[in-house]
Chain A
């Protein structure tokens, strides 16, 4: 399988603190890759550094034949590298439909109609302001916006955090549907059950470095790794 995104030796600072200390990872075409780790390990920082929301101090990010390290976020997005941020990034004073319309880009395989078929809740609430949506609806809106924006790789930052189990299942199915459509996904997720359902491969970050890497089957059977890096007892 060819490589969709390759990150090498990524270093990012917040002020003087050295948060990412040489992250390296890759996402291949057609797969879902999960990025795991304890709070503060550098998972969100990795996604933000890859898409240009944060400027990495050092490193290479190869995407669609270009080294996009240090590009501003809007250019990475135009290239098809789309981040669905942890806070969802919804415009609360714009309606749901306005949130969607400003995200439409020519050539995207998803139309507004497709989006409403995939997320019926959003059609029901299309005249509501973004700020009036529930957490799950906001998450769907944020993913939907990225799809309209012609994604060639999607990065999801804890998409099911704090959501009710029913909504979690709904979003998991939507993420799998996006994968079916051929869009590779890099996902940060704390919920191991969700990871087990969707991820093809897993990376674990510890203190700003990749500490562990395995495919889904190996990881599922590696109780020791889960205990050691994530502090989760095998059950």
Chain B
């Protein structure tokens, strides 16, 4: 079908999940000084979940490694990222 939910989109993408996360969110900073939570909206993989206490829960396993969260985050140092180990992470086949 043409119209798809986000879950259906994500099911078409192949990931080889690394043992350690390549993105780390310092939720203390999110709680202390972020009110906009830009990461929650802009992430194309929808990996950032806002918590009731103002923190952010992050799941690195289905990350496109695009860097948008890092660029959008206006809180100094809340998101630290690098690339996953070689051969791990997203593997596009068609795009």
Q: Do A and B bind each other?
A: no
- Name B residues whose Cβ lies closer than 8 Å to a Cβ of A: none
- Name A residues whose Cβ lies closer than 8 Å to a Cβ of B: none
